[in-house]
Amino acid sequence: MSDKIKLLIVDDEIQFLESIAKRLELRGFEVSKASSGTVALEIAKTELFDLAILDLKMPGMDGQELLKILKSAHKYLEVIILTGHGSFASAVECTKLGAFGYFPKPYELDKLIDVLKHAYETRLKKKFVDDQVRLTQIAEATNRLAPEAIMKKMRDQLAEQPTALSVLRALRKLDDDQK
C-alpha cells in the first residue's frame, strides 16, 4: 500500500494536465490523468482514488456531470473543481453535488496543495467515523475485539511522539478497499 495520496486529474487541455500532474507528483502525490470524463470513468472503475481534480468545461461529459457520477460511485472521494470558466451559479451547483472545493484557473500551487491536504483529511475523517461504526458492528457480531482494542492496536503502530503524517498513515491502514 502506498503512503501517497492517490489523485485523479481530469482536464481536456493536455498541456495543463501534464503540467499540473508533474507539479503534484513532485510534491508527493500519486497522480493518474484523464483527458476526458469518459476516460476518467474507465480509470475509476479499476482504481480507487482519495481525491480528484476536475475541469468544469470539457467536450462531451463536463466536470459537473463527472462530479455527479464519481460521487455516487465513490462514497469517500473528495472532488475539487478547477476551472477557467467558472461562475457563481456553477460553483453553487457543484457544491450541492458534493464538490469539496471550487477554484479558478490560474491557480496558486501552494493554495491548491493546502486544499488537497484538507480534502484528504476530511476524507479520512468521514471514513474513520464509518469505520468506527463498522468496527462496532463487527465486534458485536463476532463478540471478540471491542473497538477500543482495535484503536489500541492503531495507537501501538504510532511512534511515541506521533506526527501528523504518522497519524494519517495509521488511519490509512484502516482505510481498506471501500470506495
In a shared domain, residues 133 and 114: no
State the Cα–Cα distance between residues 3 and 6, nearest whole angstrom. Answer: 9
Residues 105 and 137 in one domain: no
Domain extent for 47: 6-119
Confidence of residue 179 (pLDDT cuts 50, 70, 90): very low
Is residue 125 located within the same domain as residue 55? no
Instruction: Supply the mean pLDDT for the chain.
Output: 83
User: 140 and 128 in contact (C-beta within 8 Å)?
Assistant: no
Q: Is the pLDDT of residue 174 over 60?
A: no
Per-residue model confidence (pLDDT) at position 178: 43
Are both 87 and 143 inside the same structural domain? no
Among the residue ranges 14-18, 38-42, 58-62, 143-147, the one predicted with the least confidence is 143-147
Can you give the pLDDT at residue 86?
A: 81
Same domain, 84 and 137: no
44 within 8 A of 8, measured Cβ to Cβ: yes
